[in-house]
């Protein structure tokens, strides 16, 4: 018989890590036998553990079907909690082991490419001078993927564009604007024009970010705003190296953040096209989980980032 409700005190008395491992494994495998092998127990023991957990919670976590298990609506919520808690526990164990070995913490940073070419390197160099034993891991991805990883506690902070309309889960502190420019290689026929008309842009092949990225969504809005057709001859990628290789290989166009192409324009690899067509700039900044105390090394790194961003704005203003 399932109970009507549970309480925090009751959950803290009986909920164990093995319950979370069970739910997480079953949610992934949908199979009792595979989970039993993973947890190194018998299948009847798995069945009993799941049955006991469901009775204690007061509701079913899985629907038993012929070949597999399917999460119920409440089961999806519990499975997410189990996954996040286990990831947090794994991070805790890793941090404790490093501290016991004399380490000084670990910082996992997610970043978009624009940040790696501007504020991130100097901030890392600065904090490493102060904390040489702080282990820093940098993961480069698109903003929406980084937000997902941050929510899952796979990252301590991210430097990205804020893309969610619902910002209840995150804190965002801007570092600066990210203007865009239209580029091609030096041999592109459009480079011979004093000004490239908007209607000519859709006639050429483009290298573009995928549809689910913030830059691409802004580009599609710009195409509609300037009343030009969205390009159909496209290659989609998030890799800067691929962008550069494709732009150099033929008469292709790309709309990219200025910070990403500045050095390539200066070296002559790329040319910025003069055109009325433009994409609205967007702030990128530091994003953390809301209502969660960040670690001391994380806060120190955030302060360093904000300090360098402030210096850049001041220098730009003086110029």
Reported as a pLDDT band with limits 50, 70 and 90, residue 1 is very low
- What mean pLDDT do residues 98-111 have? 74
For residue 4, pLDDT beyond 70? no
Q: Cα dist. 301→72, 120, 171, 176, 226 in Å?
A: 41, 10, 16, 17, 41
Cα-trace Rg, the chain = 25
Q: With contact defined as beta carbons under 8 Å apart, do 185 and 268 qualify? A: no
| Separation of alpha carbons 188 and 191, rounded Å | 6
**pLDDT, tens digit, for every residue of 52-91?**
999 989 899 999 888 889 999 999 999 999 999 999 999 8
| Separation of alpha carbons 278 and 95, rounded Å | 46
Q: Average pLDDT over the chain, rounded to whole?
A: 86
**pLDDT, tens digit, for every residue of 197-236?**
999 999 999 999 998 787 888 899 999 999 999 999 999 9
Reported as a pLDDT band with limits 50, 70 and 90, residue 40 is very high
Residue keyed to tokens 């902070």: 157
| Separation of alpha carbons 279 and 97, rounded Å | 47
Angle between helix axes 296-318 and 119-130 (nearest 10 degrees) is 130
Burial (CB count <10 Å: 0-12, 13-18, 19+), residue 208: buried
**pLDDT, tens digit, for every residue of 258-285?**
877 888 899 988 999 999 999 888 788 8
> Which runs of consecutive H residues, i.e. helices, occur in 184-239?
214-225
**pLDDT, tens digit, for every residue of 243-259?**
989 999 999 999 988 87
Residue keyed to tokens 């409440």: 74
| Separation of alpha carbons 3 and 104, rounded Å | 46
* Claim: this prediction has a pTM higher than 0.75: no
Q: What domains sit in the chain, N to C, each tagged with a CATH number?
A: 8-86 (1.10.10.10), 104-177+283-318 (3.40.190.10), 180-280 (3.40.190.290)
């Amino acid at each position: 018989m399932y109970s009507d409700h549970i309480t925090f005190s009751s959950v803290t008395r009986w909920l164990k890590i093995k319950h979370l491992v069970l739910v997480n494994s079953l949610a992934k495998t949908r199979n009792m036998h595979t989970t039993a092998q993973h947890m190194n127990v018998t299948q009847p023991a798995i069945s009993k553990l799941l049955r006991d957990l469901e009775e204690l919670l007061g509701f079913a976590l899985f629907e038993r079907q012929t070949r597999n298990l399917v999460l119920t609506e409440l089961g999806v919520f519990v499975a997410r909690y189990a996954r996040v808690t286990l990831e947090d526990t794994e991070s805790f164990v890793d941090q404790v082991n490093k501290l016991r070995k004399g380490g000084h913490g670990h910082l996992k940073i997610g970043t978009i490419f624009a940040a790696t070419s501007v504020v991130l390197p100097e901030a890392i160099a600065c904090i490493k001078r102060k904390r040489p034993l702080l282990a820093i891991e940098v993961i480069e991805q698109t903003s929406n993927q980084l937000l997902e990883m941050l929510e899952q506690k796979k990252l301590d902070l991210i430097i990205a564009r804020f893309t969610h309309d619902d910002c209840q889960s995150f804190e965002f502190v801007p570092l600066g604007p990210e203007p865009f420019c239209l580029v091609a290689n030096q041999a592109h026929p459009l480079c011979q024009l004093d000004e490239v008309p908007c209607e000519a842009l859709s006639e050429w092949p483009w290298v573009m970010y995928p549809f689910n990225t913030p830059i691409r969504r802004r580009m599609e809005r710009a195409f509609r705003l300037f009343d030009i057709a969205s390009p159909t001859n496209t290659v989609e990628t998030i890799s800067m190296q691929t962008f550069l290789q494709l732009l150099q290989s033929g008469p292709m166009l790309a709309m990219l953040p200025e910070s990403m192409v500045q050095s390539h324009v200066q070296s002559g690899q790329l040319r910025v096209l003069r055109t009325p067509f433009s994409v609205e700039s967007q702030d990128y900044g530091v994003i953390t989980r809301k209502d969660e105390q960040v670690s001391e090394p994380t806060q120190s790194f955030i302060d360093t980032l904000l300090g360098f961003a402030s210096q850049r704005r001041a220098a730009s203003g003086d110029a």
